[in-house]
Structure 1
């Protein structure tokens, strides 16, 4: 069996990650939970994969049965990404497949919670904020400091509405980040096991379609026309669309700096130094917008001649 001992080691890693869910480390280890399943599924055939996973599930089930459901939850995106790796699909296709699968699971959990347990996300967020705010309001009766910190019930309600509106974007970003973390770790591991995996395009080639600028303008227009925060579907769309597009513009700006460094034959460290302010100062995404609307890269290439 190829990679026998390596595969056993990854099975043990998967078991330890699952057991870590009962510790405070779960906040960190959850981000890496998909990795062992991806490595095992990519490097083994179906029969071998099952033989490695079953003992892990049995041990976890004997300790805490509910962990079997959690393991199955993380296995699904692992199988999807592993299948794309087996097909030698492009890195972007694999990332998108992983992101969509994780996002779909998030939505499925929310749907099941609502249908089976009458879980109301809006009420839950509002209750949590009210619970946090209550001690501040009580202390505020005797301390001006806490009075300044405390919010009224109406303010808390508005914050909860805005929080719920931002959940779709949060789910998308979280799903994408988990997929990116998984790919960035799995790819060198698979390469070290003589299993070649396509890599992402170099940063200098990162470009958004120009049509994105129209989506951004539409989002800004929706935000200007619809100011009522509650119960407005169009405002929910703009509230989630605009932050996602702004992140895209930041990526576009970073891509431009790497393109500029490549064309000018600068050291790569220069490109990294130029990219850091874009991350720390979101307003610099304007560079990405300009690069998207105007042919900046073509100008850089012409000036080089």
Structure 2
């Protein structure tokens, strides 16, 4: 591809990015949706050009972001630009969708940590601490309103609420990881139809029912639970923070494995696709279903359950 065509193509993609960015800034509600479309120009430029062009494109996009918004809008360009370039590069190298997803999660996580660290240490702004403070204030005001109607919550209830809120501060690392996983998945999901239209490369996700996480996750989970039960660290201790975050992430993966088994079983039995979706809804609404699905995940990781079921059919 000659330089003239490269420049023209880059200009079109920059124009597309600028329009999407302008709409995202001017229309905040729609902006939350457009965020997942903003990586598309970066994906396409990295897919068709070399890394020098891709990072040059990102540099200009950062300048445009500060022109259309302010320096506070710069994280939007970074959180969409770097993952977009990674996705485009890996697609050009014909990496599997799973490898692309893992790489995107790692890059997204690195961007979130850098942005958070910069805001705390250089701008003295901790979004999470401020959010926790606002949440506590909201609980206090709600408690006062209920007391005015003669339905004040008990001291034990308020204490449990405040403990749960304080736990959010402990789970900051897990929140970063989970946010990176969710954002990366949604970006790749939104990118699929655009890639079908503007590229020959495809994102081919394996069926969710075939998901098999490493069995080592089960051992990490069990060891972490044993350490938690035997040491019983106090909230605020370093060990408490480490164990809480490990359990949070590992429980998520075990739950994911359990859901995969539910989809596998549903497929083997020829059930309607609606049934697993109903189970997911119940899972979100009732902790009891979370325990059951997590237990299925433990069994699926620890025993050759799927192989035995497949032999019987």
In the superposition, the TM-score normalised over structure 1's length comes to 0.80
Instruction: Evaluate the alpha carbon distance shift between residue 150 and residue 206 of structure 1 in structure 2; reply closer, same or farther with a 3 A threshold.
Output: same
1:127 aligned onto 2:133: yes
TM-score normalized by structure 2?
A: 0.78
The match for 1:16 is: 19
1:165 maps to which residue? 170
Q: Which string of whole-angstrom CA distances, capped at 9 and with x for unpartnered residues, describes residues 100-140 of structure 1?
A: 11111111122223322344567534532333234335445
Ranges in structure 1 where 5+ consecutive residues have no aligned partner: none
Whole-Å separation in 2 of the counterparts to 1:245 and 1:54: 37
Give unpaired runs (5+ residues) of structure 2: 284-289
- Contact 1:254/1:275 (8 A) holds in 2: no
CA deviations over 1:201-231 (Å, ceiling 9, x no partner): 2334211122211111123223323545522
Cα distance in 1 for residues equivalent to 2:63 and 2:202 = 31
Change (3 A) 1:121 1:73: closer
Change beyond 3 A, Cα 1:115–1:58: closer
Find the counterpart in structure 2 of residue 180 from structure 1: 185
**Which residue is equivalent to 2:282?**
280
Cα distance change on mapping 1:136 and 1:68 into 2, 3 Å: closer
RMSD: 3.6
Distance across 1 between alignment mates of 2:262 and 2:253: 14
> Could you say which residue in structure 1 is the equivalent of 2:41?
36
Partner of 2:300: 291
SS of the aligned residue for 2:272 comes to: helix
Residue 277 of structure 1 and its aligned partner are, at CA, apart by: 0.9
1:161–1:230 contact (8 Å) kept in structure 2: no
Quickly say closer, same or farther: Cα 1:275–1:250, change in 2 above 3 A: farther
Q: What is the CA-CA distance between 1:165 and the residue it aligns to? A: 1.4
Aligned length: 300
Q: Secondary structure at the match of 2:153?
A: helix
Residue 104 and residue 187 in structure 1: after superposition, are their counterparts in 2 closer, same or farther (change >3 A)?
same
